[in-house]
Amino acid sequence: MTNSYALVSASAGTNNISLASLNGTLLINNGTLLAPRTTDNGGGMSLGGTNSSVIITNGGYLLTSSGTLGANAPFCTGVVVGVSSVWSNHTTVADSTNLIIVGTGIGPTNFLGVFNGAKLYNNGSLNIGNNVTSAFNTVTFGSPVPR
Instruction: Examine residue 50 and tell whether it contacts other proteins (CB under 8 A).
Output: no
Q: Report strand pairing: 44-47 vs 16-19.
A: parallel
Selected from 10, 11, 95, 145, the binder of other proteins by CB under 8 A is: 145
Sign of the C-alpha dihedral computed for residues 37, 80, 6 and 74 taken in this order: negative
Residue 41 binds to other proteins (criterion: CB under 8 A):
no
DSSP state letters, 46-114: EE-STT-EEEEETT-EEEESEEEEEES-SS-EEEEESTT-EEEE----TT--EEEEEEESS--S-EEEE
Please give the Cα distance from 99 to 67 (Å, whole number): 6
Nearest distance in Å: CB 3, other proteins: 26
Q: Which of 98, 105, 106, 107 binds other proteins (CB under 8 A)?
A: 98
CA distances from 68 to 61, 64, 79, 82, 136 (A): 17, 11, 13, 22, 15
- Binding window for other proteins (CB under 8 A); candidates: 13-21, 27-35, 55-63, 111-119: 111-119
Residue placing its CB nearer to other proteins in the complex, 33 or 112: 112
Q: Work out whether 136 is an interface residue with other proteins (CB under 8 A).
A: yes
In the complex, minimum distance from the CB of residue 76 to other proteins, in angstroms, rounded to a whole number: 14
Q: Is 139 in the site for other proteins (CB under 8 A)?
A: yes
Where does this chain touch other proteins (CB under 8 A) — which range of 33-41, 44-52, 60-68, 117-125? Answer: 117-125
Chain residues binding other proteins by CB under 8 A are 98-99, 102-103, 114-132, 134-147
